[in-house]
Amino acid sequence: MQSIRKIEELESLRGIAALLVVFFHMPKWHPALMNPLFDNAYLMVELFFVLSGFVIQTAYGNALQSGAAVLRFQFLRFARLYPVHLLFLLVFLGIELAKWLIITKTGVDDPATAPFAVNDLRAFVENLFLLNGVLLGRPLTFNYPAWSISVEFWTYLIFALTVLWLRAWRLVVFVLLATGALTLLASGAAAGWENILKCAAGFFLGCVTAALVQHRPQRLPAWTVPLAFFIMLAFLLTKPPHLLDLAIFPLSVALVFALVSAGDSGLTRTLRRPALVWLGTVSYPVYMSHAAMLWVANQIVRFSGTRPEAADATGRMIPQLPLSLTILAALAVVATVLVISSVVHLWVEQPLRDRSRRAHLVRRAEAVAE
């Protein structure tokens, strides 16, 4: 693997995007949580895909020159994603048991979240083997944000094999893959493959962006960073939900390209602040842990007193709170997610990532010695 400098601006951007996803999934305890920015924050997953493609191409675009290198790459990607994924898959298995206990002990039944109805044995096996986002016609189950981890893992393999087998043509192939995915999505011809197509579109656009930066480095004016950020923010604040979604891809590419190619601006320096960089560092645990924490928070609110309830877009019953309590609950959820994510990063994600890297280096040294 080629050694690259961690681009702190992109790390912080990933952290901000993960936090927006938390607010998108947050139970709508009050209408204040139903605003355009939060309602459109589901598109931050597409931004993740672009960021991932950019980083992977930058790190591995010239490094995968043998079958053994591809296997090492896929092993490292698996070790990066799977431990945290497995941890929260087991947490959600515990949640299903908790739902069963709640219904058994209290008699409170919510048909939209009946235990082991959707999250059954088949769904557990699909999640266990990272197939939960790629199988046709299957619902999101257990830790529902993990669908993007599933499709990204298999997209890594497509990337690696393309670099290995079509090295001279890889940039052309990346363009074709991204263009083809976008065409199918735009034409409504995805035929149930939307998840993998969204990942392919974003990831390979990120790869193309990284290749352009690597081969034709140039400095853009510093003002392009706040301009790209403002356009992205304006888009999220004004776009009707689930309309014009594909615009997130060029806007994400423009923002990433500006951040890595432009001179310093006030916004760039802000994104390099330690607190935001730290947020980016724990963004993967934030993304993977928040759904479980939100379920727990909703149950605490639900059983802390007699409150009116309303069904959300998924049919789930959500207790309604006054604005002051909603703000306190939202802040408590975010704080809890950040604390848990920090613990998971320090005790699970980072140690196992380091161990996998050491194992990779040992095997590489043994191969050289032989």
Domain edges within the chain: 8-365
Give buried/exposed letters for 36-46 (b at 16+ CB in 10 A, else e): eebbbbbbbbb
- How far apart CA 98 and CA 116 sit, in angstroms, is 11
Residues 6+ apart with CB under 8 A from 80: 353, 356
- How far apart CA 86 and CA 281 sit, in angstroms, is 19
Q: ∠348-139-189 over CA atoms, to 5°?
A: 115
Task: Provide Rg for the chain, Cα atoms.
Answer: 21
Question: Among 35-39, 182-186, 215-219, which stretch is predicted with the lowest mean pLDDT?
Answer: 215-219
The one-letter amino acid at 178: A
For residue 217, what pLDDT is reported? Answer: 67
Own/partner contacts of 192-197, CB < 8 Å, gap of 24 or more, are 192/136, 192/137, 193/136, 195/133, 195/134, 195/147, 195/148, 195/150, 195/151, 196/133, 196/134, 196/151, 196/154, 196/155
For residue 361, what pLDDT is reported? Answer: 55
In this prediction, residues 235-259 reach a mean pLDDT of 94
pLDDT bin (cut points 50, 70, 90) of residue 6 is: low
Residue 137 has pLDDT above 90, yes or no: no
Residue 367 has pLDDT above 80, yes or no: no
For residue 223, what pLDDT is reported? Answer: 93
pLDDT bin (cut points 50, 70, 90) of residue 109 is: low
Residue 135 has pLDDT above 50, yes or no: yes
Name the burial class of residue 179, with classes exposed (0-12), middle (13-18) and buried (19+) by CB atoms within 10 angstroms of its CB. middle
For residue 331, what pLDDT is reported? Answer: 97
- How far apart CA 329 and CA 132 sit, in angstroms, is 31
| CB atoms near residue 183 (< 10 Å) | 13
For residue 3, what pLDDT is reported? Answer: 37
pLDDT bin (cut points 50, 70, 90) of residue 214 is: confident
Higher pLDDT, 316 or 47: 47
For residue 2, what pLDDT is reported? Answer: 37
> Of all residues in the chain, what percent carry a pLDDT higher than 90?
74
For the segment 256-282, what is each residue's pLDDT rounded down to a tens digit?
999 999 888 889 999 999 999 999 999
- How far apart CA 44 and CA 16 sit, in angstroms, is 9
Residue 284 has pLDDT above 80, yes or no: yes
Q: Tokens representing 338?
A: 């950040």
- How far apart CA 152 and CA 196 sit, in angstroms, is 8
pLDDT bin (cut points 50, 70, 90) of residue 363 is: low
In this prediction, residues 357-368 reach a mean pLDDT of 53
Residues 24 and 42 sit within 8 Å (Cβ to Cβ): yes
- How far apart CA 181 and CA 173 sit, in angstroms, is 12
Residue 112 has pLDDT above 60, yes or no: no
pTM of the model: 0.92
Residues 262 and 268 sit within 8 Å (Cβ to Cβ): yes
Residue 317 has pLDDT above 50, yes or no: yes
In this prediction, residues 230-239 reach a mean pLDDT of 96
For residue 111, what pLDDT is reported? Answer: 55
Q: How many alpha carbons lie under 13 Å from residue 272 in its C-beta half-sphere?
A: 10
**Locus of tokens 């081969």:** 215
Higher pLDDT, 359 or 46: 46
